[in-house]
C-alpha cells in the first residue's frame, strides 16, 4: 500500500510540483496550506498553483500556527514534508514577529504533537531549509585560509565596495562552494528561522527516533512560481516588471551571484530524501553547483522576452543580502546519487516560455521597495 504523505505549504511552488510527482508515483497526498494572498493572488481559490492539485489531494485550508489544523492534517500520515513558511529575506527584516510565528512556532507545534501523541504514525520528516542559513558562506583568504566572513559593512557598500572581506585582515576574499559543514551564521531573520526549523526537527527527530532529512535549497525557479509576489524570487520579480514594460533597477554592481536550481531537480532531490534510508538524519545542499550573476539573469530575461525594458546598475543594496553563494553538492551526490539535470540556459528558456503564456500580473515591486526604504533596509 502506498505511503500517506502530508505536505505543508503543498500548494506553493515547490509543494505543488512535489505533490504532482508523488501522486504520479502512487503516493496518497494530504496538503495543509493557507493559500496566502502574497503567493496566490487576490483570488487564491483559483490560483494556477492551487488549481493543479485541486481534487487530486486531500486539501486542508489551514494554518501551521493552529494546533487543531495540524492535528487534523496529521491523522494517518506516515511522512511529513514541511514546506509551509514565510519566505523572503528583505521582508523578514521588518515582519519579524510574523516570520518567527509561522516558521518557528508552526514547526514547534508539529514537533510538540509528535512528542506528546504516541498514537501518531509519522515515520519520517522532510524539512525545507535554505542556503540563507550560511550567511555570506565559505571563502578563502590568501593570508588566513578558509574563512566564514561576517555580513558586509554598510560604510563599504555605500562607497560601492561590495566585496566580501576577511574578518581578520580586511582583504577581499575569494568565494568557494559552500558545503554542509560550513559555519552557520544567517544574516537575516528569514535565515535564522530556517536554521531554527532545521535544528528543532533534527533534535526532536533523534529524540523520538523519527528520521529527519533537511534540504538547504538554493534559489529555486521554474514554470509555476508566483509572479505576483514582489518579495522573493528575482526571476519572477524581474519578469513581472518586464512584462509590464517597466525598467529594472539592478542592485549593487550587478556582479552579485546566486545558485539557481530548476524546480524539477529540486523535486527529484526531495523524493530521494523521502525514499532513501541513507538520507535519514542528514542535511543536504540542493542546488545546481553553478553561480550566475544578477546581470546575466537580467540580460537573459530581456533577450528571451524580446523586451525593450531598460536596466541600470544603481548601487542600491538591501541590509541582510549576501554577495555570492553557490552550493557544494558532493554530499548529496555521494549519499543519494543526486545530479542536477537542467542547466540554467535551458531552465530559464522554459521559464520564460511559461511566463509569456500567462496573464500579466500586477507589478507590486515598487510597493515592496518603498516598504524597505521606510524601514531603513534599502540604501
Residue 278 lies in a domain: yes
Strands of 145-147's sheet in order across: 145-147, 139-141, 174-175
Among 157, 176, 195, give the residue marking a domain's end: 176
Residues 32 and 169 in one domain: no
Domain count across the chain: 2
Q: What is the pLDDT of residue 38?
A: 73
Residues 149 and 267 in one domain: no
Residues 156 and 237 in one domain: no
Residues 55 and 169 in one domain: no
Residue partners of 220: CB distance under 8 A and separation at least 6 = 13, 14, 261, 262, 263, 266
Q: How far apart are CA 28 and CA 16, in angstroms?
A: 14
327 SS3 class:
strand
* Residue 194 φ/ψ, nearest 5 degrees: -65, -40
Q: What is the pLDDT of residue 219?
A: 95
Q: How far apart are CA 340 and CA 266, in angstroms?
A: 8
User: Nine-digit cell at 40?
Assistant: 496566490
Q: What is the mean pLDDT of residues 85-110?
A: 94
Residue 379 lies in a domain: no
- Residue 203's domain comprises 4-138+177-374
9 in Cβ contact with 30 (< 8 Å):
no
User: Nine-digit cell at 59?
Assistant: 486539501
294 in Cβ contact with 257 (< 8 Å):
yes
Q: How far apart are CA 313 and CA 86, in angstroms?
A: 29
Residues 154 and 125 in one domain: no
122 in Cβ contact with 114 (< 8 Å):
yes
Residues 202 and 274 in one domain: yes
- The catalytic residue positions are 190
131 in Cβ contact with 287 (< 8 Å):
yes
Residues 151 and 132 in one domain: no
Q: How far apart are CA 337 and CA 331, in angstroms?
A: 9
Residue 164 lies in a domain: yes
Residues 103 and 170 in one domain: no
Residues 98 and 201 in one domain: yes
Q: What is the pLDDT of residue 2?
A: 83
196 pLDDT band, cuts 50/70/90, is very high
361 in Cβ contact with 227 (< 8 Å):
yes
Residues 49 and 127 in one domain: yes
What is the number of alpha carbons within 13 Å of residue 297 lying toward its C-beta?
A: 26
Whether the pLDDT of residue 61 is over 80: the answer is yes
Residues 161 and 186 in one domain: no
* Tens digits of residue pLDDT in 279-335: 999 999 999 999 999 999 999 999 999 998 899 999 999 887 899 999 999 999 999
Q: How far apart are CA 319 and CA 294, in angstroms?
A: 17
For the chain, give the mean pLDDT: 93
* Tens digits of residue pLDDT in 201-238: 999 999 999 999 999 999 999 999 888 777 778 899 99
* Tens digits of residue pLDDT in 120-147: 999 999 999 999 999 999 999 999 999 9
Q: What is the pLDDT of residue 35?
A: 86
Q: How far apart are CA 82 and CA 105, in angstroms?
A: 13
Q: What is the pLDDT of residue 366?
A: 82
Residues 113 and 158 in one domain: no
Among 121, 156, 176, give the residue marking a domain's end: 176
Task: Please report, for the domain that includes residue 369, its CATH number.
Answer: 3.40.50.720
156 in Cβ contact with 167 (< 8 Å):
no
298 in Cβ contact with 257 (< 8 Å):
no
Q: What is the pLDDT of residue 1?
A: 54
Q: How far apart are CA 127 and CA 29, in angstroms?
A: 17
Amino acid at each position: 500500500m502506498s505511503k500517506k504523505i502530508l505536505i505543508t505549504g503543498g500548494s506553493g511552488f515547490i509543494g505543488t510540483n512535489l505533490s504532482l510527482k508523488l501522486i504520479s508515483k502512487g503516493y496518497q497526498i494530504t496538503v495543509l496550506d493557507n493559500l496566502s494572498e502574497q503567493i496566490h493572488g487576490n483570488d487564491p481559490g483559483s490560483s494556477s498553483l492551487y488549481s493543479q492539485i485541486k481534487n487530486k489531494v486531500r486539501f486542508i485550508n489551514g494554518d501551521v500556527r493552529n494546533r487543531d489544523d495540524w492535528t487534523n492534517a496529521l491523522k494517518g500520515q506516515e511522512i511529513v514534508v514541511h514546506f509551509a513558511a514565510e519566505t523572503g529575506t528583505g521582508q523578514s527584516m521588518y515582519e519579524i514577529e510574523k516570520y518567527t510565528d509561522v516558521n518557528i512556532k508552526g514547526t514547534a507545534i508539529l514537533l510538540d504533537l509528535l512528542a506528546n501523541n504516541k498514537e501518531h504514525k509519522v515515520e519520517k520528516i522532510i524539512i525545507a531549509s535554505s542556503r540563507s542559513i550560511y550567511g555570506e558562506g565559505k571563502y578563502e583568504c590568501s593570508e588566513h585560509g578558509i574563512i566564514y566572513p561576517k555580513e558586509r559593512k554598510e560604510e563599504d557598500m555605500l562607497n560601492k565596495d561590495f566585496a566580501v572581506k576577511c574578518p581578520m585582515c580586511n582583504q577581499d576574499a575569494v568565494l568557494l562552494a559552500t558545503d554542509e559543514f560550513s559555519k552557520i551564521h544567517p544574516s537575516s531573520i528569514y535565515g535564522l528561522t530556517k536554521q531554527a526549523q532545521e535544528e528543532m526537527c533534527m533534535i526532536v527527530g533523534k529524540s523520538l527516533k523519527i528520521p529527519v532529512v533537511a534540504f538547504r535549497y538554493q534559489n529555486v525557479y521554474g514554470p509555476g512560481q508566483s509572479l505576483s509576489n514582489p518579495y522573493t524570487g528575482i526571476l519572477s520579480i524581474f519578469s513581472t516588471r518586464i512584462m509590464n514594460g517597466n525598467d529594472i533597477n539592478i542592485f549593487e554592481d550587478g556582479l552579485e551571484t546566486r545558485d539557481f536550481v530548476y524546480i524539477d531537480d529540486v523535486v527529484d532531490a526531495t523524493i530521494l530524501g523521502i525514499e532513501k534510508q541513507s538520507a535519514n538524519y542528514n542535511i543536504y545542499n540542493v542546488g545546481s553547483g553553478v553561480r550566475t550573476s544578477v546581470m546575466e539573469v537580467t540580460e537573459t530575461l530581456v533577450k528571451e522576452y524580446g523586451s525593450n525594458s531598460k536596466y541600470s546598475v544603481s548601487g542600491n543594496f538591501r541590509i541582510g543580502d549576501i554577495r555570492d553563494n553557490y552550493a557544494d553538492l558532493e554530499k548529496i551526490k555521494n549519499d543519494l546519487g543526486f545530479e542536477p539535470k537542467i542547466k540554467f540556459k535551458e531552465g530559464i528558456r522554459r521559464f520564460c516560455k511559461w511566463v509569456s503564456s500567462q496573464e500579466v500580473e500586477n507589478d507590486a515591486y515598487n510597493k515592496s521597495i518603498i516598504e524597505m526604504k521606510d524601514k531603513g533596509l534599502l540604501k
